[in-house]
Structure 1
Amino acid sequence: MKTFIAQALFQSHSYLEYRKLMADLLKEGKSTAVEQTQERTHYSELNESRMRRLDKTMHITDENSAKLKSLTKRYIWLVLTESWCGDAAQILPILHKMEIESNGEIEMKLVLRDENETLMNHFLTNKSKAIPKLIVIDKETGSVVGDWGPRPQGAIKLIEDYKDEFGRIDETAKANLQLWYLHDKGMGTQNEIIQLLQNLE
């Protein structure tokens, strides 16, 4: 196992620990950001509400649940995230439910992007530090066998099309993205990650 991955795992959080960290920081008017801003705290507040709702309503399809239960290998999911990230708020609850459905074959560990720069720099998306980023580690060998993120393909296309038309990502684009996640109901994320796992099996 690479040293920077081992270091990240050493300081990682379970999903429930991460949710508590978010809530505790918000009580102090803060986000997980190294550089605190009012905007990031505002987004963290929105994301807290989103995640609380998704924790209650998100479910894994019976078909995907069966595939998770039939995994023959054990994995660590190391996920780079931050509390202010809108994509992470939509995706982490899905990953957590998939972790539960796997009957212990998947163990998810969350780390903060800005505190793990070396790790992040090894998993850039188009040279940017886009999150969330899921790094799949074979538990037996400790080797990285795949990665996914920061968004499912449908969401990527929505943002790319918007940028092509308007030349930038603004609040309207962000609102459209959240609506896309709402209508998708987690299916894009579930199905893409299931496909990744099946390719590894």
Structure 2
Amino acid sequence: MSTNTLVPVLTPDRLATAHTYASYRQLIDALQVEGKTTGTQQSEMLTHYTHLNVQRMQRLDKTTHILPELQAAAQSLKQQYVWLILTEGWCGDAAQIVPVLEAVGQVSQGHINTHYLLRDENLDIMDRYLTSGSRSIPKLVVLRADTLTEVAQWGPRPADAQALFLSLKASGATHEEYAEKVHAWYARDKTQATQQELLALVKRLA
């Protein structure tokens, strides 16, 4: 769980080292050319997952349309917020969700500014936002822009996707089996559950 919400989650200097969405994507592409991915662990499997994730993000960048009510809510915020997003290039859930988070920031008319931190390079922050003891990503931490204190958090998946994931894990499904089923869920859902949960979050900020 998170720490004291009156204490800044990170310093302005550290926030300044975070990736933009563009630089995050460029980093992943550059590492792919070298046969690598982000993070401390490297393997052919993780590089393959990253290749699939690049395709997913490219598709979502083109096809994601923010719900009118979510766009309106983001634009009507009374304060500016930092959306701090913990992610890695090899994470399939991140590939399905990060483009949506970025799209919300893009339509917010400056009320929401996205910043991306790699999980494995920022474990001190990641470990404040564990999911049932796991370093599950993506993780969104919403900060007030003026104080960098936490006001909300979300992730790593929409509730229905998380329930499916936990059910499959409990049934003994292999990584390949639950990844296939969870990604099929994302494909059917077309970002709607993610957007509805983000809408609820933004409305709470207002």
Pairwise TM-score range, normalised by the shorter structure:
over 0.9
Q: What is the match of residue 155 of structure 1? A: 161
Separation (CA, whole Å) in 2 of partners of 1:40 and 1:31? 7
Name the aligned partner's letter for residue 101 of structure 1.
V
Higher RCO structure (Cα 8 Å, ≥6 apart): 2
TM-score by length of 2: 0.92
Structure 1, unpaired ranges of 5+: none
Instruction: Give 1:1-201 correspondences, 5 Å limit.
Output: 2=8, 4=10, 6=12, 8-164=14-170, 166-201=171-206
Q: Is the 8 A contact 1:159 1:173 kept in 2?
A: yes
Counterpart contact for 1:8–1:116, Cα < 8 Å: no
Alpha carbon RMSD of aligned pairs, Å?
1.4
Specify the SS of the correspondent of 2:143: strand
CA offset at residue 168 of structure 1? 4.0
CA contact (8 A) 1:81 1:112 kept: yes
Instruction: Give the conservation status (yes or no) of the 8 Å contact 2:86–2:119.
Output: yes
| Aligned AA (1:57) | T
Post-superposition offset of 1:142: 2.0
Shift of 1:163: 2.4
Residue 194 (structure 1) shift = 1.6
Q: Distance in 2 between matches of 1:5 and 1:40?
A: 31
- Structure 1 residues 147, 30: closer, same or farther in 2, change over 3 A? same
- Residues 107-158 of structure 1: per-residue CA shift (max 9 Å, x gap): 0000100000100111111111000000000112221111100000110111
> For each residue in 1:149-185, what CA deviation from the matched residue of structure 2 results, as whole angstroms up to 9, or x when unmatched?
0000110111122223x22442111001001001111
- Equivalent position SS for 1:125: coil
More displaced stretch, 154-163 vs 36-45: 154-163
> Deviation of residue 68 (structure 1)?
1.4
Deviates more, 1:187-196 or 1:130-139: 187-196
Asked whether the 8 Å contact 2:9–2:125 carries over to 1, the reply is no
Aligned to 2:4: none
| Conserved? CA contact 1:91–1:189, under 8 Å | yes
TM-score (norm 1): 0.94
For structure 2, which runs of at least 5 residues remain unmatched after alignment? 1-6
Instruction: Give me the whole-angstrom Cα distance separating, in 1, the residues matched to 2:108 and 2:9.
Output: 27
The farther-off stretch of 56-65 and 173-182 is: 56-65
Distance in 2, Cα, partners of 1:3 & 1:134: 12
Q: CA deviation at 1:61?
A: 1.3
Shift of 1:7: 5.7
